[in-house]
Amino acid sequence: QVKKGDKLPTPFIECTTKLEAHDENLTDEEAKKMAGLSDAEYEEIKATVLKIDAIIAEEAGKRNLIHCDGKKEFAYDKERRLMVVDTFGTLDEDRWWDAEEYAKGNIVELSKEFVRQYYRETGYHAALYAARDAGRPEPDIPPLPREIIDRVSKLYVDMYERITGEKF
């Protein structure tokens, strides 16, 4: 049984679609078939994900950060060369924890997870998924209150400075 905060024994990779209003999980076989990938190409993508994450984790560790997870998007060009086609390692794509706090038994999220939580607490998240499930148009996203906007801004500046070692 894995609990929040447990380190996984090995990384795992999930494939999802981008064809629906929300991501749908795919099996490896479904992902390969949908994307027209050979077994070798699929393995190349998985190996690249693990390499990217290892580099991010190593660099994050130097800054007392834990890189928990993140999203990667790939494509093959017409010569079947693998390309990364979106950002990765950012606060928009990935989740981060403070390593010093984690060592003390505390999980301090350094990502936009608190924004997601805000929308859960306001009922927007439930309304969004109810609309999606019913095939109705998605409700408008309510504006964030100033204190949440300020918190997001501070988080991005703080993490920029922490990751780069430079002043924003």
Examine the domain organization and report whether 2 and 85 are in the same domain: yes
Helices 39-61, 28-35: crossing angle, 10 deg rounding = 110
Quickly tell me which residue has 């693998």 as its tokens: 82
Rounded average pLDDT over 57-85: 94
Q: What is the pTM of this model?
A: 0.83
Shared domain check, 66 and 31: yes
What confidence category does residue 21 fall into, taking pLDDT thresholds of 50, 70 and 90? low
Residue ranges making up the domain that contains 138 = 112-168
User: Based on the domain organization, do 95 and 121 belong to the same domain?
Assistant: no
71 within 8 A of 94, measured Cβ to Cβ: yes
pLDDT digits (tens, 9 = 90+) for 44-55: 999 999 999 999
pLDDT > 90 in the chain, percent: 73
Q: How high is the pLDDT of residue 110?
A: 93
Please say which residue of 86, 106, 126 terminates a domain.
Answer: 106
pLDDT digits (tens, 9 = 90+) for 8-19: 878 888 998 876
The stretch 16-28 carries a mean pLDDT of: 81
Mean pLDDT in residue range 129-152: 94
Please state the domain count of the chain: 2
Q: Is there a single domain that holds both residue 134 and residue 163? A: yes
Burial, 104: exposed, middle or buried (Cβ in 10 Å; 0-12, 13-18, 19+)? exposed
pLDDT value at 5 more than 70: yes
CATH number at residue 53: 3.30.470.20
